[in-house]
Amino acid sequence: MKNIEALIADGGDITLGALDAIACAATAADSHNSVAMLVRREGETLNALLKRLDKAIAQFYDDGETIDEINDT
């Protein structure tokens, strides 16, 4: 999960766990921006969720697009 590693190495962070009414979410942020906010899908493993988070971070690095499944629902 090279994009998660790169984000953390650059001072960013990820969070995994419950968020308000959401049973499980994965979020990533750099020092200035929310990079990705994902909701764990029914039946999705934590490993699969982290892989999706890694891909969402890559998308942010590639084109600046933020994926926000928490506020876009």
Kindly report, residue by residue over 10-68, the tens digit of the pLDDT. Answer: 999 999 999 989 999 999 999 999 999 999 999 999 999 999 999 999 999 999 999 99
- Rounded to 10 deg, the angle between the 46-63 and 2-9 helix axes is 60
Cβ atoms of 68 and 33 within 8 Å: the answer is no
Sign of CA dihedral 18, 20, 25, 26: negative
Q: Determine the length of the chain.
A: 73
